[in-house]
Amino acid sequence: MVVAAGVLALFGVVAWLLPQINEPIGPSGVPSTVSDDLHLLPYYALRSVFRMFIALFLSLVFSFIYGLAAARCRRLRMVLIPLLDILQSVPILGFLSATVTIWMVLFPGSILGVEAASIFAIFTSQAWNMTFSFYHSLLSEPQELDEAARSMQLTRWQRFWKLDVPNSMIPLLWNCMMSVGGGWFFLTASEMISVNNRTYALPGLGSFVAVASEHEQLGKVLWAIVTMVIVVLLIDVLLWKPLTAWAEKFRITQNESVQAKTSLVLSVLRRSGISDALALVGRPIANLMFWLTRPLGRTGARWPAAGTR
């Protein structure tokens, strides 16, 4: 019952936020400031967290595609890895200046264009270290597991989902945590976008702090910091601790951890039966992906052996 209530509450919050995000631009255009009323802080926190996790999901997809391409093709690696080094050295404001106009053109007459620019800015603060983590995990896969995947003639999708992702799960998860933590530092820049002497303000903790600081309202800045600390603690308890405890099953080692990681939230989820429900939904998707990716061939057809990478 607790898990069901939590899932319904999550869907309710998302459904409540989505119409707000896609609202049309008013006659005066995108606002250049936001209200600094304290009662709006919970709403601003939800908007910021929503942007953060959309960017995190896009960063994961990018990491899987980019890292896989760089690890599996030596010629692509010679271009993609130096390019990734260059991209991670570009400041976040450099991406904003070059892309905010593009997003506004893609979503004309809608706040969604500025939202997309903000999410993209947060994405640029998260994606690069996650991509490097996944790439290095692919290069460091144990040779015996690589040989097992080849001898079992797994398809490309099966190898990716049954070997590549599980092998990279623990370091990738820690890099996700670091990326979300780093994303909090870029909230102000991503929610108060200044381009060509024009400022676009989106509701969020970062824009609230920027407005309160501009008005020299230290008390409201402190309230925003307290709100941010509460949000970070809730995310840690409800998401990161369960995930780190769950990911221990993917640890490849001869010795078990000195102290097993535990999580009350994970224990509740395991006893709730939600994993069985997810399996019923995921099994048809897995079968569909298996049939769709069969034309791509099987593991070992063209890739070099693990020892020659």
pLDDT on residue 295: 77
pLDDT on residue 305: 46
Read off the pLDDT band of 102 (50, 70, 90): confident
Checking if the pLDDT of 217 tops 80, the result is yes
Mean of the per-residue pLDDT values for the chain?
84
The 10s digit of each residue's pLDDT in 25-61 is 665 667 778 888 899 999 999 999 999 999 999 999 9
The 10s digit of each residue's pLDDT in 177-210 is 999 988 888 887 788 887 777 788 888 999 999 8
What is the reported pTM?
A: 0.85
pLDDT on residue 263: 85
What are the residue boundaries of the structural domains of the chain, listed by start? 30-250+277-301
Longest dimension (CA), the chain: 66
pLDDT on residue 77: 93
Checking if the pLDDT of 306 tops 70, the result is no
The residue ranking higher by pLDDT, 96 or 34, is 34
pLDDT on residue 8: 80
pLDDT on residue 307: 45
What proportion of the chain, given as a percentage, has pLDDT over 90? 35
What proportion of the chain, given as a percentage, has pLDDT over 70? 90
Checking if the pLDDT of 132 tops 90, the result is yes
Checking if the pLDDT of 7 tops 60, the result is yes
Fold (CATH) for 30-250+277-301: MetI-like fold (1.10.3720)
| Residues pairing with 198 in the sheet | 195
Tokens encoding 155: 């398809």
pLDDT on residue 309: 45
Handedness of CA 178, 188, 27, 98 (dihedral sign): negative
| Residues pairing with 195 in the sheet | 198
